[in-house]
Structure 1
Amino acid sequence: MLPKPFDHVVINPQTALQLPISAIILPASSVPLSKSQSCLPCSTAYKFDVSSSRLKPRLRADIHVRPNLTKRFLRLVRHDKVRLAPFFVRACIPPMYASQGPHPFEPISHDSVDASPFLIDLELLPDVTGIALTSKLFRRLCRSVPASELSLPSHKWTQFWNFPLSHHCRNIWYRLLHGKLPCRTLLHRIMPVAFTSACCPVCLTEEDTWEHFLFLCPSKQAVWRHTWSQHLGVLHFDPAFVRRALFSLVFPAEDSCKSPVAVSMVIGHTLVGFWRAHWALVFDNKPFVPEAIIPQVSKLLLTSHKESLYLSRCSPLPVPHFSL
């Protein structure tokens, strides 16, 4: 499925024929398609008519690939049980009629397969003066986090699952490793009506990219800087340290760590600390104050340390002192 309806996008018929059927139907369709139908290319059900320069449904005699599935899909479209996306409907309108009707549009003049109209609507591409984009590049640019950041080798995933983290810590970390971080840039891109700006809600000055959301925002960077110096023993802080720790699982040396808990727990609880504060600002309008978050992170670390002592059958309380 494409990431949004693209109500105002105009593509040429050649591009439309390369899309899967799952990408050209609206979610409001009353009859769900089977997985086999959804994976079919549009070219199995439609063809380009040279005389009218538009797409038209194939006749029964023209259907040669998966005929039963294709005929059923076209029947659902005819009976209005499956609704087609507006950008695909425009490819079925002859160019001579594009300026007429309640929703006129400017037809595409070239006949190259080009994904750039979708990227322009996603605000990922400023203009169409460059080379026509491939489907591979389109999928890569639609990601909120670069693909290189999301690919951990298998031994790193094993390391991640072996971290002594709470469910809350691991859940947040897992989401960011898979590029599912709800930063304002992503939310504004997929829901521009609900999120009218991509500006960071904390600093109100920079675009809230995933890097800014995690560690480039000045207020959040202050929390990380304190964590790195107070708990991990690293005096010269660099945001690149956080990037490597979160996405490559490369941590500071254990011998420099001042915390009694594992380095992964320090990083995980720091994530939880500013994650809670971030959403308290968004939903409850509570100010994001680094000085208030830092002691909360320390409290979380102390609680985890006591829990680990308890699980190892050691008392978290000091041994009582008796005097004779």
Structure 2
Amino acid sequence: MNTLSTLFTTIDELPLQPLLSDPSMATCLSLPLSFVIQASAQSNFLPKKQLSSLIVSDAYYLFDSTINRLRRHTRAELTIGGNSILHLFRALYSGDVLIADFLARALLPGAPILDSADFYIGQVDAQPFYNRLNIDHIPLHLCSTRTYRLARQQSAINIITTNNSYPTLTPSKWQFFWKARIMPLARSIWWRSLHGKLSCCSTLHHILPARFDNALCALGDLENDSVSHFLFSCDTKWIIWQQVLQDCVLTSVTQDTVHDAIFSFTMPTWDLSHSPLSPIQIISGTMVGIWKAHWLYIFSSVPFCLTTIIDSTHKTLIRFRQEETLFIHQPP
């Protein structure tokens, strides 16, 4: 039952296409009442609780098989859910609730007949509703799960990609990022940095100005704590970057190099023949070392001591390399 519930919920999330043909009278009568009604835009209509358990035939019946018309039950004819149905009828008459187009047409005289009146009236056929679930004009039973996911996600993707803060990286660079063998914590920090979701003071001040009354760096250098400032451009943190990278790559490094590596995945062409780590592993490890030291300072009041942080960052890189030796692959 849980599997079917998940399946129905998934189907409900699909964008619906217009009905290509009206369902039969028997199909209309078999549908849940809650499926064929919708509150109008300005309505505050609240359906009675029992309405969710009623079907259309509880409120309507086939008035005349010769003209294929549905008619609402009178008060005397209602045998179940009378108060809920009458409450719904009043909302329909007042315009607070709208009824589905296909059911409205079935209430009109001369509703269309398919092959014959008996066939049209007597069989329940859900095919018209199934046909609404096509994805990009492909029948649902021929669609893959990937097609479904893309159809569901496309609108959200379109909204996100129009946001100027969304990283504009090529698929090959994203693939490089996801395939890189770096620490899980580093990938999380990196992902949040790319999307502007890092918990730097400027972000926290923007979200919770009452709790964070300014956007200045927590280390006291009187600069706005942007994402790049949080990661490397803070004067204090840049000393750590310089020392760790100098020790690892045996050459001086500029902030532009680190910026391009983090935000554009343009990795520096360092000569690392002497090093067991790749550029992305060194950069990500340094990022993790600074991240840990920063939050130890914030939450536990551990002094932001440069020598200690540089040593702990080197230990992090060494430990990561030891873990890497368990694999036979070469560094990315």
- Give 1:256 shift: 4.4
- The correspondence of residues 250-261 of structure 1 with structure 2, limited to 5 A, is 250-256=266-272, 258-261=274-277
Partner SS, residue 181 of structure 2: coil
Q: Which runs of 4+ in 1 moved over 6 A?
A: none
2:214 pairs with one of 188, 193, 197: 197
1:210 aligns with 2:227: yes
What do the CA deviations read for 1:237-277 (whole angstroms, capped 9, x no partner)? 32111110101111221424643112111111111101011
Kindly indicate whether residue 327 of structure 2 is the aligned counterpart of residue 311 of structure 1.
yes
Partners of 2:165 and 2:266 in 1: CA distance: 18
Aligned CA RMSD, in angstroms, stands at: 2.8
| 1:123-142 alignment, distance < 5 Å | none
For the pair shown, which has the larger CA radius of gyration, 1 or 2? 2
* AA in 2 matched with 1:70: A
1:147 match: secondary structure: coil
Question: Contact 1:203/1:218 (CA < 8 Å) preserved in 2?
Answer: no
Distance 1:75 1:285 in 2: 55
Q: CA deviation at 1:69?
A: 4.4
Aligned residues of 2:221 and 2:234 also touching (Cα < 8 A): no
Is the counterpart of residue 168 in structure 1 residue 139 in structure 2? no
How far off is 1:174 after superposition?
1.1
Superposition TM-score, scaled by structure 1 size: 0.51
- Provide the residue aligned with 1:147 in structure 2: 165
CA positional deviation for 1:283 = 0.8
1:6-30 Cα offsets, whole Å, 9 max, x none, are xxxxxxxxxxxxxxxxxxxxxxxxx
Any gaps of 5 or more consecutive residues in structure 1?
Answer: 1-34, 36-65, 77-138, 314-324
Q: Distance in 2 between matches of 1:190 and 1:310?
A: 43
CA separation in 1, counterparts of 2:181 and 2:269?
A: 17
Matched, 1:295 2:311: yes
Q: Secondary structure at the match of 1:179?
A: coil
Gaps of at least 5 residues in structure 2 are 1-12, 14-36, 47-158
Residues 129-172 of structure 1: CA deviation (Å, up to 9, x unaligned): xxxxxxxxxx99xx8xx637x11110000000111112111111
Q: Secondary structure at the match of 1:300?
A: helix
- Which position in structure 2 is the counterpart of 1:239? 255
What TM-score, normalized to structure 2? Answer: 0.50
Report the CA distance shift for 1:246/1:232 in structure 2 as closer, same or farther (over 3 A).
same
- 1:178 is matched with 195
Please give the alpha-carbon distance, in whole angstroms, between the structure 2 residues aligned to 1:233 and 1:182.
32
Contact kept? 2:217, 2:224, Cα under 8 Å:
yes
Distance change in 2, residues 1:69/1:219 (3 Å): farther
Would you say the 8 A contact 1:184–1:197 is kept in 2?
yes
Residue 271 in structure 1 maps to residue 287 in structure 2? yes
Deviations 1:99-130 (A, max 9, x none): xxxxxxxxxxxxxxxxxxxxxxxxxxxxxxxx
Q: Residues of 1 paired with 2:246 and 2:274: CA distance?
A: 9
What number of residue pairs does the alignment pair up? Answer: 182
Q: Confirm or deny: 8 A CA contact 1:188 1:196 kept in the other structure.
A: yes
Question: Structure 1 residue 301: deviation in Å?
Answer: 1.2
Structure 1 counterpart of 2:282, which letter? V
Tell me the percent identity: 31
Q: Distance in 2 between matches of 1:258 and 1:213?
A: 30
How much has 1:67 moved relative to structure 2? 7.7
Give the direction of change, closer, same or farther, for the CA distance of 1:308–1:269 in structure 2 (3 Å limit): same
Amino acid at match of 2:169: L
The equivalent of 2:41 in structure 1 is 70
Query: How far apart, in 1, do the equivalents of 2:281 and 2:173 lie?
Result: 16
Indicate the SS of the match to 2:182.
coil
Q: 1:284 Cα shift? A: 1.0
